[in-house]
Amino acid sequence: MTEHTEQVQEQVQTSEQEFIKKPKRKHRRKHYLLRLIVALALIAAAVLCAHMSYFDVDGIAVIGNEQISDEDIIKQSGLETGGSIFDVHPVIVQHRIKKNLYIEDVNVNRKLPDKVEIIVKERSLLAQFEMGDKYVITDSEGMVLDISKEKKKTTIIKGVTVTDADKKETIRVKETDTLEKALNLLVAMDESDLYFKKIKFDGAKVNAYVYGKLKCSGRYEDMMSAITSGTLKKVIYDLYQKGTEKGTVNVYSNDYCFFTPK
């Protein structure tokens, strides 16, 4: 076989190999194209299903709130009934609601097919102070959460003169020592599972009102000691068991408490 003949055979073989490979490339392209079409079809079907009326939000439930109404929380969330539940983005909704300073934490859950659940945790240690015809609401560190024309359902502090208040800033008062004592009592009250509707400072004396006509009275140091020791809680609980709703629990040193029905 001549050298020329061998070269011709090699060229033929090379051409045959190239001819065989070309259809395979076309086959692969068709395979990828088919996959893409199927994927796009599935996505389109999913979008259409997600926006069927079956998945329209039909109810929004708020759980865990006491200070703030359901309506206010839903309004701040930006949620409305009627839209697709899949358009509700929990992280975005949570961010909106946490702008409310009363809210310490929040979780938003989608409940298929058509319900949204908002679970909130409000700040528990709250105090309110009078400032003219308004009420300044603070947390246990004195940070202003709200300035309201309406009294809230939380402990009101009397005997502290508010000079100025701005949201997200510490309340400004004349009697800074009294403010510190009031906030300390608030924390001790919460840790001892007690609740006073009103705490009034009158000179060296503190009057803490359990009900409108039932109060605990004594010096600040003695009140703090009786609260933290659990003695005052026991006395108040005994009075509650007896149905007593008026009178004075006089608090003295060494956690000594004496009740007078006046």
Q: Does 208 score more than 50 pLDDT? A: yes
Once rounded to an integer, what is the mean pLDDT over residues 26-42? Answer: 67
Q: Which CATH superfamily is domain 54-122 in?
A: membrane protein fhac (3.10.20.310)
Q: Does 42 score more than 90 pLDDT? A: no
Once rounded to an integer, what is the mean pLDDT over residues 100-108? Answer: 94
What is the pTM assigned to this prediction?
0.71
Is 212 or 221 the better-scoring residue by pLDDT?
Answer: 221
Helix (H/G/I), strand (E/B), else coil: 236: helix
Q: Does 199 score more than 70 pLDDT? A: yes
Tracing tokens 């009420």 back to the chain, one arrives at: 135
Once rounded to an integer, what is the mean pLDDT over residues 118-129? Answer: 92
* pLDDT of amino acid 67: 83
Q: For CA atoms 141, 102, 159, 196, give the dihedral sign.
A: negative
CA atoms of 177 and 143, how far apart (whole Å): 16
* pLDDT of amino acid 33: 72
Q: Where are the beta strands (DSSP E) in the chain?
A: 59-63, 103-111, 115-122, 126-131, 134-139, 144-148, 155-158, 162-164, 172-173, 198-202, 205-209, 213-219, 246-251, 257-260
Q: Does 44 score more than 90 pLDDT? A: no
CA atoms of 24 and 31, how far apart (whole Å): 10
Residue type, 3: E
The pLDDT tens digits for 155-192 are: 999 999 999 999 999 999 999 999 999 999 999 999 99
Domain ranges of the chain: 1-50, 54-122, 192-262
CA atoms of 209 and 93, how far apart (whole Å): 39
% the chain with pLDDT above 90: 72
Q: Does 18 score more than 60 pLDDT? A: no
